[in-house]
Amino acid sequence: MMNTMSSEDLTVAIAVPLDAEYVDGIRAAHPGVEVLYEPDLLPPERYPADHAGDPAFQRTPAQEERYWSMLRAADILYGFPNETPAGLAAIGDGNQRLRWVQAMAAGAGGAVKASGLNTTTLQRIKITTSAGVHALPLAEFAMLGILNGFKRTGELAADQQTKYWPQLRTPTRLVNGSRLVIAGLGEIGVETARLARALGMTVCGTKRSVEPLEGIDPVVGNSGLSELLASADAVVNTLPGTPDTDRLLGRKIFSAMKPGTVFVNVGRGTVVVEDALLEALDNGQVSYACLDVFAVEPLPAGSPLWEHPNVLVSPHTSALSAAENRLIAERFVDNLGIFLAGGELPHQVDPLLFY
């Protein structure tokens, strides 16, 4: 447990682009906390929740000094400096008073690991993710992928492009009554399960810490994933990228699926062996793949996934929504209250496992 702190003792610095109204909301919720916010030092957003901002933005030398002076004066940061691992490394080493950083990403562990900060520093600085904020848009995207696969929307779009009206009518598959396996029953996975059940699917899946979950049966560890696949009509991956999940979904997993399985990935691209997925697509083990994440991003132009007729490529944007800035700011307000009360901050990045 953390010691209770007086709000008057705390300074928060906004390190990434954020609407002024949400900054005002942080100040209104915790009026004793000093909130440092200089929008002219932050790059403009190109779209809602563009936390890195316009890459063409450049600070003058004087602005650069003001930016880092502001961050060095803070106990708490809203966002990584410049929204990069290098920025986190610089402030972690350069600000000994820093206690907590609220990350914008749901899966910030990879960026924290890439920063190279040592374990001692990461034990001093709590880093919390925005996990859960993105659960609903990701779950909706997962359902889009399942429906696309079951209803053959890729084939319909191809036929429309060539103005082809087939003589023989091809049936689609019913989602209702089908079986879904979710690899990773965290907040995203549980929300996906909720939507799937609303469409009449039965759901089972994996969880790192196995425990009963309402409406999901069975729940097993990742080692038991292959045993669930023989009866699955669709598989959704929501697993984060960790040493334990790296290349977890390889040839063994895809060969365990029954022919025609629909596969959706909204977790991390490093979990999937893409060559094995392509083999499964080519031999019919996987009938359709809806992919928002990839082992290398941006997806290289030479990747066969771009042109595969049974693949939908999404450029890692399925978590984005117009409400994201508001939702993360509201999460930060709640977390700041917990921090002031001396409670344990939720969704902390493990300094050893980076999860």
Q: Which residues are marked as active site?
A: 268, 297, 316
Spatial CB neighbours of 98, under 8 Å, sequence gap ≥ 6: 74, 75, 76, 77, 91, 92, 124, 125
CA dist 40 → 11, 43, 86, 93 (Å)? 19, 8, 21, 25
Other Cβ atoms closer than 10 A to 195: 16
Exposure of 263 in the CB half-sphere (CA atoms within 13 A): 33
Give strand pairing partners of 204: 181
Backbone phi and psi for residue 258, each to the nearest 5 degrees, phi listed first: -80, 155
Alpha helices in the chain (DSSP H): 20-29, 61-72, 85-94, 109-115, 119-124, 135-151, 153-161, 187-198, 225-228, 251-256, 274-283, 324-340
User: Is residue 274 a contact partner of residue 296, using CB atoms and an 8 Å limit?
Assistant: no
**DSSP tag of 296:** S
Give the Cα separation of 166 and 176 in Å (integer): 26
Q: Classify burial at 121, counting beta carbons within 10 Å of its beta carbon; exposed 0-12, middle 13-18, buried 19 or more.
A: middle
Write the single-letter amino acid at 68: W
Q: Pick the closest to residue 350 from 270, 243, 257, 265 (CA basis).
A: 243
DSSP three-state, residue 211: coil
Give the Cα separation of 191 and 221 in Å (integer): 19
Total length of the chain: 355
Question: Which tokens hold the place of 50?
Answer: 């563009």
User: Is residue 240 a contact partner of residue 109, using CB atoms and an 8 Å limit?
Assistant: yes
